Structure 1
Amino acid sequence: MSFSEFEVKKIERAAAEFLEAIRPPVHIRPQLDIDVRFSGQSVSVVEIRPHFREPSTTIESMVAKATYVEEAKHWKIYWMRSDLKWHLYTPAPESRTIEEFFAIVREDKNCCFFG
């Protein structure tokens, strides 16, 4: 099941506010940028940068993911570890709202999302 039109608008609004606060200045974005993507029941935060050997190619690294659990009415929060697998973010494994998820990623208490 994917998000309803209302939920998509709510996620887009929260993502825009998050990106406004966290994205680097415009002149740095060709070298490092942050974006939010969503599909199915998940919302992901992605870091975008040029490939170090082929600067004309970009690399997208998954940073954080929230998956909505309909039955429990909350978002499960994950971070991408160096083994390239999603792991539950133990300081705050879930959030009630998408805004809370973005706040947790922005705070990054354990430096799991952005190092």
Structure 2
Amino acid sequence: MAISEFEIKRYEKELDKFIDEHRPPVHVRDQLDINYKIENQSVVLFEIRANFRNPSEKLDIPIAKATYVKTQKVWKIYWQKSDLKWHEYEPVAIVKYLEEFLNVVGQDEYDCFFS
């Protein structure tokens, strides 16, 4: 079952706030920016970068994901390794609230999310 419309609106507020706080300076946003998408039970944060081979083309590169497990009422945190697969974020694999996920990503204590 997908996240409700009410929850989506609340999450979008928190996600927009996070994006505003962590976006690169305006003068580099055509080369590097960040954004999010909500898909089913997951929130995915991603970088938007110019394609190395074709700078006019943009690539979305996922950096962090949180999936809500409704039966447990928790968010599971994942990061994408160089193998392009999602792996549980071992230091903090589970949080209760989306805001906690955003705090973990924002702190990026182990340099797993932002390069």
Bucket of the pairwise TM-score, normalised by the shorter protein: over 0.9
Task: Give the TM-score normalised by structure 2.
Answer: 0.97
1:101 aligns with 2:101: yes
Structure 2 residue 15 is the aligned partner of structure 1 residue 15: yes
For 2:96 and 2:25, locate their aligned partners in 1 and report how far apart those are by CA, in whole Å: 30
Rounded Cα–Cα distance in structure 1 between residues aligned with 2:11 and 2:36: 10
> TM-score, normalising length from structure 1?
0.97
Q: Distance in 1 between matches of 2:74 and 2:7?
A: 13
Distance (whole Å) between structure 2 residues aligned to residue 83 and residue 109 of structure 1? 21
Deviation at 1:53, TM superposition (A): 1.1
User: Identity over the aligned pairs, expressed in percent?
Assistant: 49
Structure 1 residue 95 displacement after superposition:
1.0
Q: 1:94 & 1:109 partners in 2: Cα distance?
A: 16
- Equivalent position SS for 1:66: strand
Mapped pair 1:54 → 2:51:
no
1:74 CA displacement = 0.5
- For 2:56, what is the secondary structure of its paired residue? coil
Q: CA separation in 1, counterparts of 2:53 and 2:39?
A: 30
Q: CA deviation at 1:62?
A: 0.5
> Could you list the runs of 5+ residues in structure 1 that have no partner in the other structure?
none
For residues 47-89 of structure 1, the C-alpha deviation after alignment (integer angstroms, 9 at most, x for no partner) is 0011011011111110000000001100000000000000000
- Where has structure 1 moved over 3 Å in runs of 4 or more? none
Displacement, 1:104?
0.4
Corresponding residue for residue 40 of structure 1: 40
More helix by share: 2
Task: Say which SS state the counterpart of residue 84 (structure 2) adopts.
Answer: coil
Q: CA RMSD in A?
A: 0.7
Give the number of equivalent residue pairs: 115
SS in 2 for 1:27: helix
1:19 Cα offset (Å):
0.5
Unmatched runs of 5 consecutive residues or more in structure 2: none
1:6 aligned residue: 6
